[in-house]
């Protein structure tokens, strides 16, 4: 029986992060939330901190991040650029030097449908930012995750993953024509597959991993979309008004953050991992007849063989490995 099936969480599409965290005490826990200074990441960071966790927010744009966190002294701002391998290493080294365990790693930072650019290693920017940078970050922080003796890693994916599996023959669009939405879809599939393989390799060390579709939320992630695109995907109406319909995935930031917080903290997920979630629930596998905006996860995004293959590719493209897991 597939573990990729609903478990009866008691929550739903309109649930908020505050409702998910109610009654939870995260005192003594440490969390890192990438992208925690805007959009969903900021709501997640504040929610975890409000429950007592020590929350670190690494950010590339320090000016923007300082302004966003000015009213949130409970959040600790650090510097890190997911497109810069040296920056990731430096951030991880600083955290490891503190000797603290890391209980929660929330991979929320991302870019969507951007023009073709590449990181210093030549990797396409969406694949590099959304997946490879987070892969390297988790590898470098691995000792702290193990030290927590019960950590969770949450990779923020998307229903957009349905647009493309990972193209293992040309992941960086070196030979095929670049399509920003195909590149985004590939990176979101990679997020889901990363959680599958990380969970398989990390479970024995008490590190469990989840991927999650938070919903469609109008945030800075949509900066490359024009009004025509926003209407096409159902975010605004013909008059430009914002559409909110949680049942169809159009959510507020507080509703979108709920599924991320649920994956990070729900006791119903104890002993579980390697699953794709949405609407504060483990998703069912989609049969392929649904649209990209319908619920469920495509089989190619939770395929263990593809997940292992992506892991090997990620080690090659980043030059980084999880030493303790190399023989797993």
* 170-202 per-position pLDDT tens digit: 999 999 999 999 999 999 999 999 999 999 999
Residue 229: CB partners within 8 Å, gap ≥ 6?
A: none
8 lies in some domain: no
In which band, very low, low, confident or very high, does the pLDDT at 249 lie, cut at 50, 70 and 90? low
CB 116 within 8 A of CB 165: no
- Work out the number of other CB atoms within 10 angstroms of the CB of residue 244: 15
325 lies in some domain: no
- From residue 165, alpha-carbon distances to 84, 86, 161, 288, 312 in Å are 25, 29, 7, 13, 16
Domain count for the chain, please give it: 1
pLDDT at residue 230 in the model: 46
192 lies in some domain: yes
9 lies in some domain: no
pLDDT at residue 246 in the model: 60
- Work out the number of other CB atoms within 10 angstroms of the CB of residue 327: 6
Residues labelled as active-site residues: 184
Query: Quick one: which of 20, 30, 13, 52 has its CA closest to 100?
Result: 30
Provide the token pair at 134.
């987070």
12 lies in some domain: no
CA distance 201 to 267: 21
pLDDT digits over 80-125, tens only? 999 999 999 999 999 999 999 999 999 999 998 899 999 989 999 9
Predicted model pTM: 0.92
The CATH number linked to 312 is: 3.40.50.720
CA distance 83 to 102: 22
């Amino acid at each position: 029986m597939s573990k990729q099936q609903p478990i009866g969480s008691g929550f739903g599409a309109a649930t908020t992060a505050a409702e998910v965290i109610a009654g939870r005490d995260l005192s003594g826990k440490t969390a890192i939330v990438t992208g925690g200074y805007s959009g969903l990441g900021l709501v997640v960071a504040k929610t975890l901190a409000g429950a007592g966790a020590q929350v670190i927010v690494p950010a590339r744009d320090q000016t923007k991040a300082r302004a966003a966190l000015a009213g949130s002294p409970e959040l600790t701002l650090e510097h890190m650029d997911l497109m810069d391998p040296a920056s990731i290493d430096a951030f991880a080294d600083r955290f490891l030097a503190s000797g603290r365990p890391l209980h929660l790693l929330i991979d929320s930072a991302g870019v969507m449908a951007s023009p073709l650019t590449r990181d210093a290693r030549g990797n396409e920017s969406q694949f590099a930012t959304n997946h490879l940078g987070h892969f390297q970050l988790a590898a470098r922080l691995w000792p702290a995750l193990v030290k927590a003796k019960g950590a969770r890693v949450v990779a923020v994916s998307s229903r957009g993953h349905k647009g493309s599996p990972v193209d293992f023959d040309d992941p960086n669009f070196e030979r095929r024509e670049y399509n920003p939405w195909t590149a985004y879809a590939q990176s979101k599939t990679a997020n889901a597959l990363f959680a599958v393989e990380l969970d398989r390799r990390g479970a024995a060390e008490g590190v469990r991993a989840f991927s999650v579709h938070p919903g469609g939320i109008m945030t800075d992630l949509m900066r490359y979309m024009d009004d025509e695109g926003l209407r096409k995907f159902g975010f605004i109406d013909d008059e430009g008004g914002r559409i909110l319909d949680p049942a169809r995935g159009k959510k507020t930031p507080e509703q979108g953050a709920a599924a991320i917080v649920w994956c990070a903290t729900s006791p119903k997920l104890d002993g579980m991992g390697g699953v794709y979630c949405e609407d504060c629930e483990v998703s069912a596998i989609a049969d392929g007849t649904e649209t990209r905006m319908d619920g469920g996860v495509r089989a190619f995004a939770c395929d263990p063989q593809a997940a292992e293959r992506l892991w090997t590719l990620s080690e090659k493209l980043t030059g980084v490995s999880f030493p303790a897991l190399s023989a797993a």
